[in-house]
Amino acid sequence: MGLTDLMSMAKPNMDARENFLSKLSSREFVNCFQCLKCTSGCTALKLLELKPHEIVKLVNLGFVDELASSDIIWTCVTCLKCVQRCPQKASPYHIIMVLRNMAVEKEAQIPEEYLKTVSRILETGLAEAPQEVTTRKMEVFDRKSLNLPKITFPRESFQVAFMKIMEEK
C-alpha cells in the first residue's frame, strides 16, 4: 500500500476494512462524494468535534483500526439527521454503529455514560430517568406538577429478558 498518514505514520489496513464492510448491510457508503452535508448538520459537531464526513473518508481509505479505538465514535448522538439528508444514501451513522460494536468486541474503553444508560434501562425501562426541572425563576417542575401520567417501572421479567438479549448479542 502506498498510502501513509504522515501525522501518525499509520498505514491503511485493508483486511480490517473488508471485515468492517462485511458487518454493514450495504456498501453504499463507498459512494460518499464528500459534499459535507452530514457534517454541516451534525448535532455533535459543535460540542464534541465529531466530523462524520471524516469518519466515512477514513473508513473508505482503510484507517479502520484507529477509529475503532477512538473516542470520537461515542460522540454521535444518533439524531439520524445525516441518514435523512445524505444525497448518496451513504450516511455515516451506520458506520459509527459498526465501529461502536467493534470497540465493544475489542474491549476498548467505553464511555461511562453508556454503561450508565444500560443500567438505567435495566432499572427504569427508560434511557433517561424522569427529571425535575428548575426554571430561571427557581420554580421546580416534575411530571406530577405538569399533570403528566405517572411512569411505571418494568417488572422483573423485563429485566431477565433484557439481560438475556444483552448476553446473546
Q: Smallest gap, in angstroms, from Cβ of residue 109 to other proteins?
A: 27
Number of residues engaging other proteins in binding (CB under 8 A): 21
CA distance 29 to 2: 23
Cβ atoms of residues 64 and 17 within 8 Å: yes
Residue among 20 and 39 whose Cβ is closer to other proteins = 39
Q: Smallest gap, in angstroms, from Cβ of residue 31 to other proteins?
A: 8
| Alpha carbon distance 21, 12 (integer Å) | 14
Of 41 and 125, the one with the shorter C-beta distance to other proteins is 41
Please give the Cα distance from 10 to 3 (Å, whole number): 9
| C-beta of 51 vs 103, nearer to other proteins | 51
29 binds other proteins (CB under 8 A): no
- Interface residues for other proteins in 38-97 (CB under 8 A)? 38-42, 45-46, 51, 53, 81-82, 84-85, 87-89
For the CB of residue 26, give the shortest distance to other proteins in the complex, in Å.
Answer: 12
Q: If you search the block for the grid coordinates 459535507, which residue do you land on?
A: 36
Taking a C-beta distance cutoff of 8 angstroms, is the pair 98, 104 a contact? no
Evaluate the CA torsion angle 118, 120, 126, 130 in order and state its sign: negative
Instruction: Report 102-121 residues binding other proteins (CB under 8 A).
Output: none
Angle, nearest 10°, between helix axes 92-105 and 52-61?
70
- Classified as helix, coil or strand, 104 is helix
Residue 33 or 153: which CB sits closer to other proteins?
33
Residues that bind other proteins (CB under 8 A): 33-42, 45-46, 51, 53, 81-82, 84-85, 87-89
